[in-house]
């Protein structure tokens, strides 16, 4: 199948490791030109080199998107120095260790900003040019926690908000040729991620989770999530506005 995205310019946030890195590499293999954003410059540089480097049209921006005004600054910088961004993959997110449902509202707001607010700020800059050109793809990496609401309450609630935002935004921009979607990964083993920590520190907890909640009996990999993001970035999803796609290995 020809996905029709060769030479498209793509922004991937959280692209230095895990799911974001796997998505960026997969899109690069489709001939896209990747602008990778994350905090750690060394990992970013390694990821971009793995894609083929600047000579292949790839670039990176090391930035902490949680800083005030940073999402808009990064988005505008990319538009100014490289032209249109045609595909955006929002992969920034996490629990920020806010686990208590009775946590201060400031903690809830911080988790919301990490998982939702950054995407909203960047979309406000990046989507209008897509609408003007009549084509664009915006993919949010959500989480199955949005539906299960187990574990960290603020994180699950933020991802549920992200799913609702995806649907609302997707419907609003649908007539303009911009398709907004989300994917909901389940339990994925990625270096430095939650399940990496559980596997190393609490193997009995992992074994219990896999036995009772994972139909496949194993954790997923970033490389198993990436193809779904690539397809949602393609020319083939013209009837998928606002779609939220679970990719969870049969989580129960």
Q: CATH number of the domain that 56 lies in?
A: 3.40.50.720
pLDDT score recorded for residue 167: 98
Look up tokens 């629990």; give the residue: 95
Q: How confident is the model at residue 230 (pLDDT cuts 50, 70, 90)?
A: very high
Domain that holds residue 116: 9-188+221-245
Q: Is 193 domain-assigned?
A: no
Q: Is 2 domain-assigned?
A: no
Q: How confident is the model at residue 193 (pLDDT cuts 50, 70, 90)?
A: confident
Domain count, the chain: 1
Give me the DSSP letters along 67-112: STTHHHHHHHHHHHHH----EEEE-----TT---TTS-HHHHHHHH
HSE toward the beta carbon, residue 85, CA cutoff 13 A: 30
What are 95-102's contacts with CB under 8 Å, separation 24+? Answer: 95/151, 95/152, 95/154, 95/155, 95/194, 96/154, 96/155, 98/152, 98/154, 98/155, 99/151, 99/152, 99/153, 99/154, 100/153, 101/153, 101/154
| Lowest-confidence segment of 80-84, 98-102, 147-151 by average pLDDT | 147-151
Q: Is 33 domain-assigned?
A: yes
- The percentage of residues in the chain with a pLDDT greater than 90, rounded to a whole number, is 89
Marked catalytic residue, from 60, 155, 161, 209: 155
Q: Which two tokens stand for residue 106?
A: 């400031």
CA distance 16 to 21: 5
DSSP state of 149: -
Q: Is 3 domain-assigned?
A: no
pLDDT score recorded for residue 194: 85
> Do residues 228 and 247 make contact, with C-beta atoms less than 8 angstroms apart?
yes
Mean pLDDT for all residues in the chain: 96
Q: How confident is the model at residue 149 (pLDDT cuts 50, 70, 90)?
A: confident
Q: How many CB atoms lie within 10 A of CB 219?
A: 21
- Looking at per-residue pLDDT, the higher value among 125 and 100 belongs to 125
DSSP state of 239: T
Q: Is 13 domain-assigned?
A: yes
Q: What is the largest CA-CA distance in the chain?
A: 53
Q: Is 251 domain-assigned?
A: no
The gap between the terminal CA atoms of the chain, to the nearest Å, is 32
Q: Is 117 domain-assigned?
A: yes
| Lowest-confidence segment of 19-33, 104-118, 187-201 by average pLDDT | 187-201
Query: Whose CA is closest to 111, among 78, 147, 143, 148?
Result: 143
Q: Is 66 domain-assigned?
A: yes
- The percentage of residues in the chain with a pLDDT greater than 70, rounded to a whole number, is 100
Catalytic residue list contains 155: yes
Report the range out of 80-84, 210-214, 223-227 with the highest average pLDDT. 223-227
HSE toward the beta carbon, residue 60, CA cutoff 13 A: 26
Mean pLDDT of 148-158: 90
Residue 151 has pLDDT above 80, yes or no: no
């Amino acid at each position: 199948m020809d996905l029709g995205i060769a030479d498209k310019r793509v922004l991937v946030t959280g692209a230095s490791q895990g799911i974001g890195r796997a998505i960026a590499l997969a899109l690069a293999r489709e001939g896209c030109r990747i602008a990778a954003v994350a905090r750690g410059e060394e990992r970013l540089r390694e990821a971009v080199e793995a894609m083929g480097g600047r000579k292949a049209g790839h670039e990176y921006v090391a930035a902490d998107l949680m800083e005030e005004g940073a999402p808009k600054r990064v988005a505008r910088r990319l538009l100014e120095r490289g032209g249109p961004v045609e595909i955006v993959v929002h992969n920034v997110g996490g629990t920020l260790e806010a686990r208590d449902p009775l946590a201060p509202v400031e903690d809830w707001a911080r988790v919301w900003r990490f998982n939702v607010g950054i995407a909203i700020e960047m979309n406000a800059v990046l989507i209008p040019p897509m609408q003007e050109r009549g084509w664009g793809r915006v993919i949010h990496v959500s989480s199955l926690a949005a539906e299960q609401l187990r574990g960290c309450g603020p994180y699950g609630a933020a991802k549920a908000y992200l799913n609702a935002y995806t649907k609302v935004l997707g419907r609003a921009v649908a007539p303009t040729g911009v398709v907004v979607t989300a994917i909901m990964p389940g339990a994925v083993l990625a270096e430095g991620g939650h399940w990496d920590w559980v596997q190393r520190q609490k193997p009995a907890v992992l074994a219990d989770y896999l036995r009772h909640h994972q139909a496949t009996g194993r954790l997923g990999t970033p490389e198993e999530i990436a193809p779904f993001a690539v397809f949602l970035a393609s020319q083939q999803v013209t009837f998928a506005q606002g779609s939220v796609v679970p990719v969870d290995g049969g989580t129960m």
